[in-house]
């Protein structure tokens, strides 16, 4: 059973998604979280990095909306299937998260490309911080590692409950950008969820005005969380139907 070490709301700061706005996060440091407790948190819009669970707490903005995919009803587009098939050419290994220099170097290669293309700030991530954020001991934590022969080319960190998969973080070798690995990884995760009879794949927050996050809405049908329910409140999700696509 989980116990709470700390609970706080951050001071307002510039939003990393919508530059003209301010944002705040509600954050909880929780230990010994069970799979069922993790499921309850996901259903109410919480995300996890290491022992920290967080969600937006902005008072004047509701643009960050939790989005999940219903596994049984989801139908990929042709372009999404092509991205999945390209990624399926690689060897995929699913294990508990691993921390080593190979993964850290891959992360930094990916992040440097983001810095160049999207003007991200440089990342100071060290092995110690990689371990804390991506490999913190947790019953739900899994790593999906993609290999081209003996070369590690992508890593997906996910949380796995008895009912759902939550996509936490994904990074890849920029030389494999032609594979559309970000799109393909979602389809690989959906395949895994379907094979294991899970109900939903959680993709984090959709922010319609942010190009780097708005792409999530192309996965249809999807479901959006209404407001920010408390842990003792019932979460309400609405269905966004599949629309015709020419891709």
The domain ranges of the chain are: 3-240
Note the pTM of the prediction, 2 decimals: 0.94
Nearest to 139 by CA among 3, 1, 5, 32: 32
| Superfamily of domain covering 3-240 | Gcn5-related N-acetyltransferase (GNAT) (3.40.630.30)
Number of residues written out for the chain: 247
pLDDT means over runs of 10, the chain (247 residues): 95 91 95 98 97 94 95 94 94 97 97 88 94 97 98 98 98 95 96 98 93 85 96 96 59
Nearest to 18 by CA among 215, 214, 219, 223: 214
What pLDDT, on a 0 to 100 scale, did the predictor assign at position 247? 43
Query: 204: which DSSP letter?
Result: E
What pLDDT, on a 0 to 100 scale, did the predictor assign at position 214? 74
Cα 233 from Cα 6, distance rounded (Å): 21
Cα 82 from Cα 60, distance rounded (Å): 40
Strand ranges for the chain from DSSP E: 3-9, 13-14, 22-23, 25-31, 47-49, 52-56, 65-70, 91-95, 141-148, 151-160, 164-172, 200-206, 222-225, 237-240
Query: 225: which DSSP letter?
Result: E
What pLDDT, on a 0 to 100 scale, did the predictor assign at position 244? 45
What pLDDT, on a 0 to 100 scale, did the predictor assign at position 168? 97
């Amino acid at each position: 059973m989980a116990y709470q070490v700390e609970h706080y709301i951050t001071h307002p700061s510039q939003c990393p998604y919508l530059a003209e706005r301010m944002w705040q996060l509600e954050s909880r440091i929780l230990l010994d979280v069970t799979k069922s407790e993790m499921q309850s948190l996901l259903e109410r819009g919480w995300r996890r990095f290491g022992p920290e669970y967080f969600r937006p707490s902005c008072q004047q903005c509701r643009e960050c909306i939790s989005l999940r995919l219903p596994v049984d009803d989801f139908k990929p587009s042709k372009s999404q299937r092509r991205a999945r098939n390209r990624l399926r050419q690689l060897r995929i290994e699913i294990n508990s998260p691993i921390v080593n220099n190979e993964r850290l170097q891959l992360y930094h290669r990916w992040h440097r490309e983001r810095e160049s293309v999207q003007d991200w700030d440089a990342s100071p991530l060290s092995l110690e911080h990689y371990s804390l954020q991506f490999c913190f001991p947790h019953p739900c934590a899994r790593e999906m590692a993609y290999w081209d022969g003996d070369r590690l080319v992508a890593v997906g960190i996910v949380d796995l409950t008895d009912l759902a998969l939550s996509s936490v973080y994904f990074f890849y070798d920029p030389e494999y950008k032609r594979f559309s690995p970000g799109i393909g990884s979602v389809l690989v995760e959906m395949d895994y969820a379907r094979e294991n009879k899970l109900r939903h794949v959680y993709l984090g927050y959709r922010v319609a005005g942010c190009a780097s996050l708005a792409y999530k809405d192309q996965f249809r049908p999807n479901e959006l969380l209404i407001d920010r329910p408390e842990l003792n409140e019932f979460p309400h999700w609405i269905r966004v139907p599949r629309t015709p696509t020419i891709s």
